[in-house]
Structure 1
Amino acid sequence: MTDQVYGLHALEPLLAKHPEQIFQVVFCEGRLNARQQALLDLAMQLGVRVQRAPKKVFDQLAGVHQGVYADVAAQAAYTEADLLDWVAKTTDPLLVFLDEVQDPHNLGAILRTADATGVTAVVVPKNNAVGLNATVRKVASGGAESVPLVVVTNLVRTMEQLQQQGVWFTGLAGETEQTLYQADLTGPVAIVLGAEGKGLRPLTRKACDYLVAIPMQGQVSSLNVSVAAGVTLYEAVRQRQLK
C-alpha cells in the first residue's frame, strides 16, 4: 500500500531521513525554483526515482502542494501493544492523548510540536478522530515520520492500562482552578487534550489523574487545541530540564 505526501515542508525532512520509504518524487512540469531543484538533486543523489507531471495532475491534489508530491510506503499502524511496550522501556515517557481531534491541521501541528519536544508517542482513538493523511503529514513537516501515531480502540481503557504502568494523566480543562504551571509534568506523564470546541469527553475527563487550565488573561476563553498542546508540552520540557 502507498500513501501520498505533498509539499516541500513534508518532503524535505522525509527525503533526508527516510529515502527508503519513497517510491518516487513527482515534480510539476516547467521551471523549478531553488528549493524544488535542491529536492530533485537530493532525490537523484539518493537514488530515488524522479518524475515530471503536467500541472493538471497537481490541480487535482487537495491542499497546497508546492509543485511536488511523492508516493511513499504506507506507515505501519502502531497499536496499543506497541505503546505499552515503549512505555515499559522508556525512562519518564512523555505522551500526548487526543480525545476525538478531527482537524488534520491540528493533528499535523501537534505532531510537529511533539517532535520538537521529544514526545514518545501521540495517541488517538480509532473512531471520530482524524488519522494520518497527506494534510497531516504536510503540516507536521516531518513530525509524522519521527513521532509514532498510535490508534487505539478505546482511549480510556488505554489510559487505565498505562496508569497501571505508572503513567500520570494530566487533562486540559478550562474551568478547573489548578493551572498548568502548578502541575508536576516530570516523570512518566501523558497530556490529554480534547476535541475542537467540545473539550474532553466526560469519561476521558474522569480517567485523568489531574485537570489543569492554561491561564487566559484576555477576552478569548480558550486556545486552539494545537496551540494548547504547544504551550503545555513546552512547560513539560521546562520542568524536565530543571529536574
Structure 2
Amino acid sequence: MAASPELEGTESPAPRGPRELRLYGLNAVHAAFAKRPEAIRKLYLVQSRIPALQPLLAWCVAHRVGYRVVEEADLEKLSGSAHHEGVVADVLRAEPESLSTWLRDLPAGPQLAIWLDGVGNPHNLGAILRSAAHFGVAAVLLPKHSSLALSGAAARVAEGGAEHVPMVRLGRTDNALAQLRGAGFALAATVVAGGRDVFAADLPTRLVYVMGAEGEGMDRELARACDLQLSIPGTGAVESLNVAAATAVLLAAWRSRRPG
C-alpha cells in the first residue's frame, strides 16, 4: 500500500505537537493502550500486525481515532528507527507529577524510588524503566532542571514499563530531600567504590536510590547529602556496571528483602 501524503517527504520523526510522543514497538503501544487508551491520537501499522492489534484497531474505529496500514519503510521514517516492530502510535504525553502530589497519594508501607541525577541516554532510561516496572518501583524522580524526558526510543526499550512507573519532577534539591525524609524515605547514593556492600547493608523500608550520570557519576554535594552510600561488589575486572545494569541489581537487592 502506498504511503499516505503526510508520510511522503517526511524528514523528521517528530510528533505533531510538543504534548505528543511518538511511540513504537509492540509492547510499548500495547501498554499505552492498556493504561491510557484515551491518549492515543493516531496509529500506523503494517498489514502483518493487524491480528495482534485487533482490539486496538476496534477501539480506534469506535472512538474515531485515525489509523493507517502502511509499509515497513514508512514506519522506519516515522519512528526514525528500524526497531519499530511493525507499529507506531502518536500519544499524548503523561506529564510528570510534582513531588508533593506524588507523596500525598503514595500508599503507606515499603516503597522504592529512583532519583536520576544526570542520566541522559534514552536507552539507559528505557532499561531503567523496564527494571523499575519489574521490581515495583513507585516512581522515577527527575531533578528540577533535568532535560530528561521519555522518548520513543526509551519507551521501546522499556517494553511497556514506561506506562507503569510515573515520572516525578523535583523542586529545589534541599526541599526535595526534606520532603522525602519527611515522608519516611532514606536516600542512598550509589557509588562505584567506598560504599557499603548493597547485599550486606540493612536497606531501609522506604528508600530512594540516587543514580549518577553515565560517565561522570553523581553530583558530589548530592552524594554527601544522602543518608548512606552503597556499592555493588564485583571482581574488579571492569571499573563498574552500566547505570541501567547497576539499577537493576540495586532494585533486586531491595526487593529480595521484601518477598511478595
Note whether the superposition's TM-score is higher than 0.5: yes
* Alignment root-mean-square deviation, CA: 2.1
Alignment partner of 1:223 out of 238, 241, 244: 241
Percent identity between the two aligned chains = 32
2-structure distance, mates of 1:65, 1:11:
10
C-alpha distance 156-200 of structure 1, shift in aligned 2 (>3 A): farther
Paired residue for 2:256, among 234, 238, 243? 238
User: What residue ranges of structure 2 are gaps of 5+ in the alignment?
Assistant: 1-18
- Structure 1: unaligned runs, 5 residues or longer: none
Q: Supply the distance in 2 between the matched residues of 1:138 and 1:155 (Cα, whole angstroms).
A: 30
**Equivalences for residues 76-87 of structure 1 within 5 A:** 76-87=95-106
Pairwise mapping of residues 8-87 of structure 1 onto structure 2 (< 5 A)? Answer: 8-28=26-46, 31-32=47-48, 36-47=49-60, 49=65, 50-60=67-77, 61-63=79-81, 64-87=83-106
Q: Aligned with 1:38: secondary structure?
A: coil
Deviation digits for residues 78-117 of structure 1 (CA, Å, limit 9, x no counterpart): 1122233134x43222111111101011111111111111
TM-score where L is the length of structure 2: 0.83
Checking the alignment, whether the CA contact within 8 Å between 1:122 and 1:150 is kept in structure 2 is yes
Shift of 1:167: 0.7
Counterpart amino acid of residue 44 in structure 1: L
Cα deviations by residue, 1:56-97 (Å, 9 ceiling, x for unpaired): 53232223212310111221231122233134x432221111
Partner deviation per Cα, 1:174-194 (whole Å, 9 max, x = no partner): 221521012222411111111
Aligned-partner residue type, residue 52 of structure 1 = V
TM-score (normalised: structure 1): 0.88
Cα offset, 1:23, TM superposition: 2.2
Is the Cα contact below 8 Å between 2:186 and 2:204 reproduced in 1?
A: no
Task: Give the deviation of 1:235 after TM superposition.
Answer: 0.8
1:101–1:129 contact (8 Å) kept in structure 2: no
Structure 1 outlier segments of 4+, above 6 Å: none
Deviations 1:22-66 (A, max 9, x none): 1232114xx41xxx2333312123345432234553232223212
Change (3 A) 1:194 1:96: same
User: 2:153 aligns to what?
Assistant: 135
Describe the SS at the equivalent of 1:23.
Answer: strand
1:98 and 1:124 in contact (8 A); partners too: yes
Tell me the matched-pair count. Answer: 236
Equivalent residue for 1:147, pick from 159, 165, 177? 165
Deviating more after overlay: 50-59 vs 91-100: 50-59
Letter in 1 for 2:96: A
Contact preservation (8 Å) 2:189, 2:229: yes
Q: Conserved in 2, the CA contact under 8 Å of 1:6 and 1:65? A: yes
Larger helix proportion, structure 1 or 2?
Answer: 1
1:175 partner letter:
A
Asked whether the 8 Å contact 1:9–1:142 carries over to 2, the reply is yes
